[in-house]
Amino acid sequence: MSATEQARILYVINHADWFWSHRLPLALGARDAGYQVMVAMPGGASDKRLREMGFIGFDLPEASGVLGVIKTIFALRNLIAAQGPEIVHAITLKYAFIAGLAVRLAGRWDVRAVHTVAGLGYLFSGEGFKPKVLRALIGPFLKLALGGKNMRVIFQNPDDLNLFVRRGFVKLERTALIRGSGVDTSVFTPREGAEEAPPIVLMPTRLVRDKGIAVFVEAAALLKAEGVDARFQIAGGVSRSNPLALTEAEMHDLCADGTVEWLGRVEDMPGLLSLATLVAYPSYYREGVPKVLLEATAMGKAIVTTDHPGCREAVADGVNGLLFPVRDAWACAQAILALLDDPFRRAAMGRAGRARAEAEFEAKLIVAQTLKVYEFK
């Protein structure tokens, strides 16, 4: 590469929405650091916003089902061979698997491959026969995809990192721990006097079963039965790409008695969070670090969530929220009640959370940590 050429980085993303909501700051940071940024995702070639940002977009097939995954591996292999990026950075475990195999099949041993495992998702949190069989079948290929001296794997919480090292999927010296995708603290910032009366307990989430939606509904019912005067809301649109996703009909059934309001997908998250008295997130999904918790933290909201990988990275028990055991609706309800009944403690937790967001989770800090990973030889 001559002195006038830019190093090229290819981001491999599962969905356009995920890129714009979670990974735009990273791509902008790479661009501003001097990289030529390419983005491969379904619909990437026709996304005008990529060109407006100075990025180059490429299409990938939808990686649904075994055939879709195979098609995506070979499409990405061909793209890597044709474009010759110096760095390939894949986001999510599924696309780390795809990109790791694609780099090997392309025969480009000079490419530095970086994978961000943003939680372990359905493959490692799903119960029953199917996910167990998938784990057994995919394990050897996952080790191949994530192995190699030219690869680094970024984990968002130590539980996931330790599990992958213990199972031999990746060597410890080829890992990095970067907690989450960050939050823009200039956008998600506390707003004085915005909270509603009666108080609102908000669960912002993707509509996936293991996010603990049924636990939240049960906790709300328990509190309503005790005469607690509060509104309970779920904000999130229907997800069609996750085997654990709830359908629209199932959501209407869960909320049929009016105990919980389902708001659907909400675009203005800072506005929505500003009205909430506190945020509840009873997830038992294998999270990385949930972005909604970072957003709530930056907004200065006290949080009730599970003592579970990813969730406890964002919330320190007794500092900026309360942790409770997974799948325990009664414990969830008691934690919510404790904070509803104590506005001074709630406010102190909100201030502590805001301080943590600025010191630990600000997007610029996360971008800088990620760019540092790219420097390995």
3-state SS, the chain, equals CCCCCCCEEEEECCCHHHHHHHHHHHHHHHHHCCCEEEEEECCHHHCHHHHHCCCEEEECCCCCHHHHHHHHHHHHHHHHHHHCCCEEEEECHHHHHHHHHHHHHHCCCCCEEEEEECECHHHHHCCCHHHHHHHHHHHHHHHHHHCCCCEEEEECCHHHHHHHHHCCCCCHHHEEECCCCCECCCCCCCCCCCCCCCCEEEEECCCEHHHCHHHHHHHHHHHHHCCCCCEEEEECCCCCCCCCECCHHHHHHHCCCCCEEEEECCCCHHHHHHHCCEEEECCCCCECCCHHHHHHHHCCCCEEEECCCCHHHHCCECCCEEEECCCCHHHHHHHHHHHHCCHHHHHHHHHHHHHHHHHHHEHHHHHHHHHHHCCCC
Burial of 229 (0-12, 13-18, 19+ CB in 10 A): exposed
Q: Measuring CA to CA, which residue among 318, 310, 362 is closest to residue 118?
A: 310
Distance CA 84, CA 75 (A): 14
In the prediction, which pLDDT does 1 show? 47
User: pLDDT tens digits for the chain (377 residues)?
Assistant: 444 468 999 999 988 888 998 899 999 999 999 999 999 999 999 999 999 999 999 999 998 888 999 999 999 999 999 999 999 999 998 999 999 999 999 987 789 999 999 888 666 655 666 667 777 777 788 888 888 889 999 999 999 999 999 989 999 999 999 999 999 999 999 998 767 789 999 999 999 999 999 999 999 999 999 999 999 999 998 877 677 789 999 999 999 999 999 999 999 999 999 999 999 999 999 889 999 999 999 999 999 999 999 999 999 999 999 999 999 999 999 999 999 999 999 999 999 999 999 999 999 999 999 999 999 87
The residues with which 154 forms a beta bridge, in sequence order, are: 116, 176
Total residues found in the chain within this entry: 377
The neighbouring-strand residues paired with 113 are 88, 151
- Label residue 344 exposed, middle or buried (CB < 10 Å: 0-12, 13-18, 19+): exposed
The Cα-based distances of 375 to 7, 102, 133, 256 in angstroms read 12, 21, 37, 53
* pLDDT for position 2: 41
Give whole-number Cα distances, 225 to 146, 213, 220, 374, in Å.
50, 19, 9, 54
pLDDT of residue 287: 85
Q: 127: which 2 tokens?
A: 């119960």
* Close Cβ partners of 145 (under 8 Å, ≥ 6 residues apart): 96, 97, 98, 99, 100, 101, 104
The span from the CA of 92 to the CA of 60, in Å, is 15
Domains of the chain: 8-182+362-373 (3.40.50.2000), 200-361 (3.40.50.2000)
Q: What is the pLDDT of residue 121?
A: 67
- Residue 124: its pLDDT value, please? 66
- Which tokens sit at 249? 């009909």
Q: Are 205 and 234 in contact (CB under 8 A)?
A: yes
Residue 330 has a CB neighbour count (10 Å cut-off) of 13
As a whole number of angstroms, the distance between CA 323 and CA 319 comes to 10
Contacts within 8 Å (CB) and 24+ apart, 168-173 = 168/143, 169/139, 169/142, 169/143, 170/143, 170/146, 171/147
Beta strand 87-91 pairing with 112-117:
parallel
Predicted structure pTM score: 0.90
Report the alpha-carbon distance of residue 10 to residue 146 in Å, rounded: 17
User: Per the structure block, which two tokens stand in for 15?
Assistant: 């969905």
CB-based contacts of 3, cutoff 8 Å, min separation 6: none
